């Protein structure tokens, strides 16, 4: 009967084998509280530093909205310069109508002159307005990219704003190049009358 244990010995063995679960849970909770307090302290320190420098946290976030809107406008204007706009179409149709009216009033006009007045000037009007939209897109894109240098030099610009702005600049340059080529009749010139 040497294997029988008293109640005190059984309690001692159970305590030695099992760690105290409440002690472990309390230690983990204290570690989590310490981590949360450190994060809160870091956030408060960052906000205090912004306030010391005279920067409002909400104002910084709203400043990026204007830059983002400018980047999107730049890309949209560059895209419109390539695909055409309502204003360009309207100006082209107007020039076509003016050319047709002029051709009807002078019956002695040559075919080359009729082509130029009826279609060439309409083509140039379309190229002109495409160039205007391209130039506007290019200017807006450059201004958005240059804005951090003049507004808040230490604050970096969001990556998506830079990407969209560069896209607007690229579309603006391409649209301006195509507009010049169309206006100078290097690209898709009028057919000859002979």
pTM above 0.85, yes or no: no
Q: Residues with Cβ < 8 Å from 89, sequence gap 6 or more?
A: 126
For 169, the token pair is 């600049």
The reported pLDDT for the residue numbered 134 is 93
What's the residue count for the chain? 194
User: Is 128 in contact with 58 (CB distance < 8 Å)?
Assistant: no
Q: How confident is the prediction along the chain (194 residues), in pLDDT tens digits per residue?
A: 555 656 666 555 555 545 555 555 555 656 555 555 666 666 666 665 655 654 445 555 555 788 888 889 999 999 998 888 888 888 888 888 887 777 777 666 676 677 777 777 888 888 899 999 999 999 999 998 888 767 666 677 788 888 999 999 999 999 999 999 988 888 777 666 66
User: Is 55 in contact with 153 (CB distance < 8 Å)?
Assistant: no
Nearest to 75 by CA among 182, 180, 6, 164: 164
Q: Write phi, then psi, for 12 (nearest 5 degrees).
A: -65, -45
Q: Round to whole Å and give the CA distance between 142 and 151.
A: 14
The reported pLDDT for the residue numbered 86 is 86
* Residue whose pair of structure tokens reads 């301006």 in the numeric block: 176
The helix/strand/coil state of 107 is: coil
């Amino acid at each position: 009967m040497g294997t029988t244990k008293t109640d005190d010995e059984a309690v001692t063995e159970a305590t030695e084998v099992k760690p105290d679960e409440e002690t472990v849970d309390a230690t983990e909770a204290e570690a989590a509280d310490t981590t949360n307090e450190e994060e809160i302290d870091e956030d408060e320190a960052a906000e205090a530093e912004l306030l010391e420098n005279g920067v409002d946290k909400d104002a910084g976030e709203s400043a990026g909205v204007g830059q983002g809107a400018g980047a999107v406008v730049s890309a949209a204007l560059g895209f419109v310069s390539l695909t055409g706009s309502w204003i360009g179409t309207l100006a082209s149709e107007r020039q076509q109508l003016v050319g047709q009216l002029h051709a009807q009033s002078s019956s002695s006009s040559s075919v080359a002159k009729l082509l130029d007045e009826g279609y060439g000037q309409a083509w140039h009007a379309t190229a002109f307005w495409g160039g205007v939209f391209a130039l506007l897109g290019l200017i807006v894109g450059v201004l958005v990219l240059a804005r951090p240098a003049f507004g808040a030099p230490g604050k970096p610009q969001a990556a998506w704003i830079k990407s969209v702005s560069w896209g607007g600049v690229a579309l603006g340059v391409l649209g301006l190049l195509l507009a010049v080529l169309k206006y100078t009749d290097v690209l898709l010139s009028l057919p000859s009358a002979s």
